[in-house]
C-alpha cells in the first residue's frame, strides 16, 4: 500500500483538495504530519482513514529507495518526542490517554523525494511517496504566491506557443499530472535513470535537490542515452509511431512508456519533450512552465555565432550544423540555487530536447534565467548553449557557383518574443526581458562583454544604401491563393540597377528546407534615388499544397544584388498558413458527475474534399483520463462542415480545458479547445 505526502505545516485533514490538487491516500508532501492509531498493545496505522494494519508498538524507522543507508542519509530512525519537530523526521503522541493512541509523523523540508518505507517494529511496513512541497517555506522549491502555485503546480492543462514570431499559435495541452497512473510513471522515470541503476543509494540521496532531479528529468524525457520516455523525429517519416503533432497531452505518452516496459514512445519534437517534462515536474511538486523562444539559435560549436550559407538564388545551403529554429520550447523549473552566489534563485531553464551533450549526456540545464541575462556563462548548467539560443549573432554568406563565398547583409535576429502562458488566464506573457536586456542598451553591452560575445560588440548598425524587406498579406489561410511582397528601396542619391531573386520553400519548424513553393527572378530592377518598389510573388495552393510539412510553414527569401557594387542584401521571413477554427459548443449545464455533450465543428477550407476525417478529444477531469475518438464515415466537401458530438462526464469542479484534434488526409492535426467551467 502506498501513501503520499505534500510539504506543509498542517495536518493531513487540512490537505488541499481544491482545483486540480487531488491528494491521494498514498501521496505525502514533505513536512506534513501523518497520524497513526494504536489499540492497546497493537498499533494501527491510518492515513485519511483509508488504510490500517495492526503492528507492534515501537519507534518508527524510515527507509527510502531500494538501498537505504546511513552513508547517504536515506535511513532515518527516531523515537517519540513531546512535540513534532518540523526540521527533522519526528513523531509525537497527539491523543489523550485512552484505548486509542494517535501518533503524528513529520518529515523535514530537505528529505529526498520518492518512495519511502515506514517500519514500526517487526510487524508494520507501510510505503508512501514523498514529494516536494512548494507551499512550505523551508522547501527549496517554495513559491510565495498562491495564484502562481495554482498555475505552475496544480493546473493540469495549459497553452504552448508554436507558429512563428510574426504569427504565434497558442496550442492547448493536457498536462494531466494528477491522472491515474501518472505519478507511478514519474517515479519510474527517476528509478530507471542510469544514475539510479548504477548507485541507487546515492541517487536516492540526490533527490532532495531539485537541481539534481531536474537534470535527471532533462536526460530521461528523451531516450538518447537511456530508457527514456520519448524518441525524437524531425522528418516526415513517422513509421512505427505517430506524428508529434498528433499528441494533445502527456497522459497517453507517460502511460504508454510505463506500460510498455519503458520502451520509448514514438515520436516527439521540442514542444512534446517540454510538455512531458512539465507534467513530470509538476507531479513531483516542482513549479514548472513551458516557454517558447522564437528564432531560436542552435549553436553547435559554442562560438555564439550562427553561420548560414545561401546560394545565388537566396536559398539556404546546409553547409553548417548551426541552425535557427523557427521556435524552440523548453521548460523553466522554480527552485533555489544554493550552489551559486545569492541572487540566482527562481526560474531555471531546463531543456529535455536532445540537441547537444552535457557532461556526456543529452540534457541541458538547469541554468538560472538571470545568469543568461547577465552573461554569466561559467554558471551551471549549460549557460553558453542557452545564452546562444537567445543571443547568438547571425552571419550570412553567399556561396557562388565558382566556389567563392562572401558575406552578405542580412537582418536576422534570434531570441524573439519568448513566451509562456499567463498566470490565471489563456493570454500570452512575454518573458523576453527575463532572458535579455533590450537590444542596444548599456546593460545588453555589459552582458555581452561578460559573456565575451565580441561578435555582437563589434557589430555596427549600418544605414545601408539599399534596403530589402518582405511584406505579407493580411490573411494567409491554408487552401487559399495569396500574395507576398519583396519591398526594395534605394536610399542613395544615385540610380541603382539590381537583380532581385524572390523564392519560397516549405520548411519545418527546426529550419529543415523542403520543396519549392514559388519562385521569381528579375534580372533588371531599376531604382531611382529614393524610390521604393513592391514586387509580388503569388502563392498558389496548387503549388504549395503537396510540399507543406505538418508545420504549415513556408520560408520566403528575397536576395537583392547590386550590379554596381556587387553587394548582396538578404531578407528572410517564415510565414505560417492559418488552419481553420475548430468550434466547440457545450450542450447542457456543466455539473460535476453529470454527462455533457460537446458539439464540435470544423469547416473544410480547402478546394478539395477531405477524407478519413477524425476528431479526438481529451481533458483532465473531463474524459476520465481517456481519449475519445469519433470518426466520420462520409467525405467532407469543400466549404462543408465536419461535425461530431462527443459525450463525456466531468469528475471535478472548476475550469477545465477540453482539447480537440482534427485529422484527415489533406488537413492534418488542427488543434482547438474550449474552456469548460464545471459547477
Specify binding-site residues: 391, 393, 439, 444
Angle at 215 between CA 212 and CA 220, to 5 degrees: 125
Known active-site residue 433: no
CA–CA distance, 348 with 631 (Å, rounded to integer): 42
Taking the CA atoms of residue 52, residue 54, residue 55 and residue 60 in that order, the dihedral angle to the nearest 10 degrees is: 20
Q: What are phi and psi of 152, to 5 degrees?
A: -95, -5
Those residues whose C-beta lies under 8 Å from the C-beta of residue 28, and which sit 6 or more positions away, are: 3, 4, 5, 6, 34, 107, 128, 129, 130, 131
Neighbours of 236 (CB within 10 A): 11
Annotated catalytic residue, options 186, 196, 328, 453:
328
Contact at 8 Å (CB) between 637 and 589? Answer: no
Q: What are phi and psi of 8, to 5 degrees?
A: 175, -175
Known active-site residue 270: yes
The C-alpha cell of 108 is what? 523535514
Q: Where are the alpha helices (DSSP H) in 438-546?
A: 442-450, 454-458, 541-544
454-492 burial, b at 16+ Cβ within 10 Å, e below that, comes to eebeeeeeeeebbbbebebeeebebbbebebbbebbbeb
- What are 469's strand-pairing partners? 487
The C-alpha cell of 279 is what? 507534467
Annotated catalytic residue, options 351, 382, 661, 663:
351
Point out the annotated binding site for Ca(2+).
Answer: 391, 393, 439, 444
DSSP designation for 148: H
CA–CA distance, 633 with 583 (Å, rounded to integer): 20
636-661 burial, b at 16+ Cβ within 10 Å, e below that, comes to beeeeebbbebebebbbbbebbbbbb
CA–CA distance, 119 with 563 (Å, rounded to integer): 85
Distance of CA 393 to the CA centre of its chain: 25
Q: What are phi and psi of 450, to 5 degrees?
A: -65, -35
Contact at 8 Å (CB) between 363 and 215? Answer: yes
Query: What CA–CA distances, in Å, run from 54 to 26, 28, 39, 125, 151?
Result: 18, 21, 8, 10, 41
Tell me the three-class secondary structure of 555-601, residue by residue: EEEEEEEECCCCCEEEEEEEEECECCCEEEEEECCCCCCCCEEEEEE
Contact at 8 Å (CB) between 182 and 283? Answer: yes
Annotated catalytic residue, options 136, 270, 329, 517:
270
Known active-site residue 562: no
Sign of CA dihedral 381, 385, 386, 388: positive
The C-alpha cell of 254 is what? 507517460
Radius of gyration of the chain (CA): 28
The residues annotated as belonging to the active site are: 270, 328, 351
Amino acid at each position: 500500500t502506498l501513501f503520499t505526502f505534500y510539504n506543509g505545516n498542517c495536518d493531513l485533514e487540512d490537505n488541499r483538495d481544491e482545483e486540480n490538487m487531488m491528494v491521494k491516500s498514498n501521496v505525502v508532501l514533505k513536512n506534513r504530519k501523518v497520524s497513526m492509531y494504536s489499540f492497546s498493545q497493537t498499533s494501527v496505522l491510518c492515513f485519511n482513514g483509508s488504510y490500517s494494519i495492526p503492528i507492534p508498538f515501537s519507534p518508527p524507522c524510515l527507509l527510502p529507495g531500494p538501498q537505504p543507508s546511513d552513508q547517504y542519509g536515506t535511513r532515518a530512525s527516531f523515537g517519540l518526542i513531546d512535540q513534532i519537530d518540523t526540521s527533522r523526521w519526528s513523531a509525537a503522541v497527539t491523543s489523550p490517554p485512552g484505548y486509542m493512541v494517535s501518533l503524528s509523523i513529520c518529515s523535514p523540508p530537505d528529505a529526498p523525494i520518492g518512495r519511502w518505507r515506514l517500519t514500526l517494529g517487526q510487524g508494520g511496513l507501510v510505503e508512501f511517496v514523498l514529494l516536494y512541497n512548494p507551499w512550505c517555506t523551508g522547501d527549496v522549491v517554495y513559491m510565495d504566491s498562491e495564484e502562481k502555485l495554482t498555475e505552475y503546480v496544480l493546473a493540469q492543462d495549459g497553452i504552448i506557443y508554436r507558429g512563428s514570431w510574426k504569427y504565434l499559435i497558442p496550442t492547448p495541452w493536457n498536462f494531466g499530472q494528477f491522472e491515474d497512473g501518472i505519478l507511478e510513471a514519474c517515479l519510474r522515470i527517476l528509478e530507471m535513470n542510469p544514475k539510479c541503476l548504477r548507485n541507487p543509494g546515492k541517487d536516492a540521496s540526490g533527490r532532495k535537490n531539485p537541481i539534481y532531479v531536474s537534470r535527471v528529468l532533462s536526460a530521461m524525457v528523451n531516450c538518447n542515452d537511456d530508457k527514456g520516455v520519448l524518441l525524437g523525429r524531425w522528418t516526415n517519416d513517422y513509421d512505427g509511431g505517430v506524428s508529434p503533432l498528433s499528441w494533445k497531452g502527456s497522459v497517453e505518452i507517460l502511460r504508454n512508456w510505463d506500460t510498455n516496459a519503458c520502451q520509448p514512445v514514438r515520436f516527439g519534437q521540442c514542444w512534446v519533450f517540454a510538455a512531458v517534462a512539465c507534467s513530470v515536474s509538476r507531479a513531483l511538486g516542482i513549479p514548472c512552465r513551458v516557454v517558447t523562444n522564437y528564432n531560436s539559435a542552435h549553436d553547435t560549436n559554442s562560438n555564439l555565432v550562427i553561420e548560414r550559407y545561401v546560394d545565388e538564388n537566396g536559398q539556404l545551403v546546409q553547409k553548417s550544423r548551426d541552425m535557427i529554429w523557427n521556435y524552440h520550447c523548453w521548460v523553466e523549473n522554480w527552485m533555489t540555487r544554493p550552489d551559486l552566489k545569492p541572487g540566482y534563485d527562481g526560474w531555471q531553464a531546463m531543456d529535455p530536447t536532445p540537441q547537444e551533450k552535457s557532461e556526456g549526456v543529452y540534457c541541458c540545464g538547469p541554468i538560472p534565467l538571470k545568469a543568461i541575462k547577465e552573461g554569466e556563462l561559467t554558471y551551471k548548467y549549460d549557460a553558453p548553449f542557452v545564452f546562444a539560443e537567445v543571443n547568438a549573432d547571425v552571419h550570412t554568406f553567399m556561396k557562388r557557383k565558382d566556389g567563392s563565398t562572401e558575406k552578405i547583409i542580412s537582418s536576422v535576429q534570434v531570441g524573439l518574443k519568448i513566451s509562456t502562458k499567463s498566470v490565471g488566464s489563456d493570454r500570452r506573457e512575454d518573458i523576453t526581458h527575463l532572458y535579455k536586456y533590450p537590444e542596444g542598451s548599456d546593460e545588453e553591452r555589459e552582458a555581452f562583454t561578460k559573456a565575451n560575445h565580441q561578435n555582437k560588440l563589434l557589430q555596427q548598425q549600418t544605414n545601408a544604401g539599399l534596403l530589402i524587406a518582405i511584406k505579407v498579406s493580411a490573411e494567409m489561410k491554408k487552401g487559399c491563393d495569396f500574395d507576398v511582397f519583396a519591398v526594395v528601396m534605394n536610399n542613395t542619391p544615385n540610380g541603382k540597377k539590381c537583380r532581385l531573386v524572390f523564392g519560397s520553400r516549405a520548411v519545418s519548424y527546426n529550419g529543415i528546407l523542403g520543396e519549392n513553393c514559388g519562385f521569381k527572378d528579375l534580372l533588371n530592377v531599376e531604382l531611382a534615388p529614393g524610390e521604393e518598389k513592391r514586387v509580388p510573388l503569388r502563392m498558389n495552393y496548387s503549388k504549395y499544397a503537396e510540399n507543406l510539412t505538418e508545420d504549415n510553414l513556408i520560408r520566403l527569401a528575397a536576395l537583392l544584388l547590386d550590379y554596381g557594387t556587387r553587394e548582396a542584401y538578404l531578407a528572410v521571413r517564415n510565414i505560417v498558413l492559418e488552419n481553420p477554427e475548430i468550434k466547440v459548443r457545450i450542450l447542457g449545464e456543466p455539473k460535476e458527475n453529470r454527462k455533457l455533450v460537446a458539439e464540435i465543428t470544423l469547416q473544410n477550407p480547402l478546394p478539395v474534399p477531405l477524407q478519413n476525417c477524425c476528431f479526438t478529444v481529451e481533458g483532465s477531469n473531463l474524459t476520465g483520463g481517456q481519449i475519445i475518438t469519433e470518426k466520420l464515415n462520409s467525405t467532407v466537401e469543400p466549404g462543408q462542415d465536419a461535425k461530431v458530438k462527443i459525450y463525456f462526464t466531468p469528475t471535478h469542479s472548476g475550469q477545465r480545458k477540453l482539447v480537440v484534434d482534427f485529422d484527415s488526409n489533406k488537413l492534418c492535426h488542427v488543434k482547438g479547445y474550449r474552456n469548460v467551467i464545471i459547477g
